[in-house]
Structure formats: structure tokens, C-alpha cells
Structure 1
Amino acid sequence: MNLQIKEIKSYNHEIRNTVEHFLKSLQGCESSISEYQLKEIISSENSYLFFASSVHDVCIGMLTIGIYQSPTGKKAWIEDVAVDDLFRGQGIGENLITFAIQFAKQHNVDVLNLTSSPARVAANNLYKKTGFQPKETNVYRMALGTNSYA
């Protein structure tokens, strides 16, 4: 499949609808994102939102990358990787992850991280296939706002 991955740099309602579509896929229920939240992501110098589109400009995947500097090095997190149900199993997820790895390298990132629920077997296999190694750690979480997704 001929795939194009592009960074989303401006807001419109279609972008918002697309993000909400993929949030539903990730969370298994209807989800919304406010215009303010999405504009904040798009305008942030540390957050990057990407859509994967087919040759017919149909959006079939999404990925977010957050980059930050810490005393232990420049780090990045891959977040919200989603592929439309109709296009799963066609290598789109692998293309998105490979793209994210290259993007992080271009930004001189020292460590690239992601998390995935153990229940997402295909996703976990993909991450291992693309070179990620499981890290023995505990992830702790504290929801501080009303939009604290699982």
C-alpha cells in the first residue's frame, strides 16, 4: 500500500473528527477532544501529531510523539498509535512506528519509549518486531484532570 505520513500543523473540524475516530478505536468507547486541546497539541513545540493516509488521501492511522529533555538525556514517547479497523494487518502500524523511530533519530533523541497494554497482543508483537525491548518497571499513574484517558 502506498502510504503517506504527514504532520498535522493546523486545526480544522475534519482533523478533530479524525482524532476522535481514532480515540474511539484506542479506548473502545466514544471519546472527544476539545478544539482547545487539539490546537494545543498542534501548536506545541514538543508534541507532534501525525496521520497516515492512503494514496486516495483517506486517513487510516494516527500517532503522536512527545519529545522532552531531562537530566538523563533527550527522550521521546510514542503515544496514541491507532490504525483504522478496515486497514489493520496491512503494515500501517509498522510504517507508523518506523516513521516515529526515524523522526526521533532526526531530533537527536537518546531514548524512545512507549507503553502498551498486555491485552494488545498484535501491538506488543509489532513493537518487539520493530526493535523495542520490554522494560522491567512499574508504571504509576495519577489522573489529575477530567480528560485523563486510560
Structure 2
Amino acid sequence: MDMEIRTFRNEDISGICNLINSELEYDVSCEDLKAQISQMQEDKNYVIFTAVDNKKIIGFIGLQICLAFEIKGKVMRIIALAVTCYSQGQGIGSALIQEAERYAKENNISTVLVNSGLKRAKAHHFYEKNSFYKKGYSFCKRIN
């Protein structure tokens, strides 16, 4: 494997869209995703890194930098992380987290946060293996 982790490029959208739909099991159109990412690119508080092997997107991590009331300094939320099923277990997800942590250190970010769906037991184990700990529950309410 000749994998590299790099900053997002616009040509990565279809690969990321495939990962979101297949691995995260969300139903997102590539057009809607392109519009969302376009807005993210205009805001310095969003960062996306991609894992690429042989010019193919095999993983990505999306990050949002913000503030929290209870945590001193800036925090960074992992808002999406996915690796293709055939590449899982090879350290790619951990490498993406390490890249996020490197970015956090360079930008004086004190804490990395992540939410993970209740049914995603493999993801929970993965995050714990990468030194995350359970802090609470996540709640969601749609407004339209």
C-alpha cells in the first residue's frame, strides 16, 4: 500500500460521497455534499484530510474547530471519519486521527471531541483504542 494523507482537494468529493453513503450509511447526494463542502471551504474552522492510495480515496476525516463552555481553549470536533471496508484494520483511521492531532497541536487546539452513533460498537472500540474516552450522550432534534 502506498497510502498518503493529504489536505482535501475538490476532486475528492465523489470518493468522500461514496464513503459517507457506504461506510457511514448516510443517504447523501454528491451534489448536496459538494454544496456543504463548498461552504466549509469558505470557513477557516473546517478542515478535511483524505487518505489516498493509488489515486483512490480510501478514507477521510472532517473536522470543525470551535469553542466549548467547559473546556479551556479551542476544541476540534471530528464531524466525520470513514475508511473503506476493505481498508479497515490497516491503521488508516488511526493515521487520520494522528493527522488531526498534529493539526490540533500546530493550531493550539486543546481537545478533540467526537460523537458516535449508539449502534456503532466497532467505532466505539476504535476510538477507545485511539485514547478517546466516553464523556456523555449525544442528542439530536430536527427543526424542519
Match of 1:40 in 2: 39
Q: Is the 8 Å Cα contact of residues 7 and 50 (structure 1) preserved in structure 2? A: yes
Write the deviation string for residues 31-69 of structure 1: whole angstroms up to 9, x where unpaired: 214232221122321001111011x22210011010013
TM-score (norm 2): 0.84
Match of 1:65 in 2: 63
The answer to whether 1:49 aligns with 2:42 is no
Q: Which residues in structure 2 correspond to 1:1-150 (within 5 Å)?
A: 1-8=1-8, 10-11=9-10, 14-28=11-25, 30-33=27-30, 34=32, 35-54=34-53, 56-70=54-68, 72-135=72-135, 137-144=136-143
Give the Cα separation in 1 of the matches to 2:99 and 2:6.
10
| Equivalent residue letter for 1:68 | C
| Equivalent residue letter for 2:38 | K
Q: Is the 8 Å Cα contact of residues 75 and 110 (structure 1) preserved in structure 2? A: yes
The alignment of Structure 1 onto Structure 2 pairs a total of residues equal to: 140
Write the deviation string for residues 75-98 of structure 1: whole angstroms up to 9, x where unpaired: 110121000122112111111112
Displacement of 1:100 in angstroms is 1.4
Q: Is the 8 Å Cα contact of residues 26 and 80 (structure 1) preserved in structure 2? A: no
Q: Aligned to 1:49, what secondary structure does the other structure show? A: strand
Query: Structure 1 residues 29 and 39, CA, compared in 2 at 3 Å: closer, same or farther?
Result: closer
Match of 1:148 in 2: none
RMSD (Å) for aligned C-alpha atoms:
2.0
Displacement of 1:109 in angstroms is 0.9
Gaps of 5+ in 1: 146-150
Give the Cα separation in 2 of the matches to 1:66 and 1:77.
5
Query: Structure 1 residues 79 and 126, CA, compared in 2 at 3 Å: closer, same or farther?
Result: same
- Percent of residue pairs identical: 25
TM-score (norm 1): 0.81
Give the Cα separation in 1 of the matches to 2:29 and 2:77.
22
Displacement of 1:26 in angstroms is 4.1
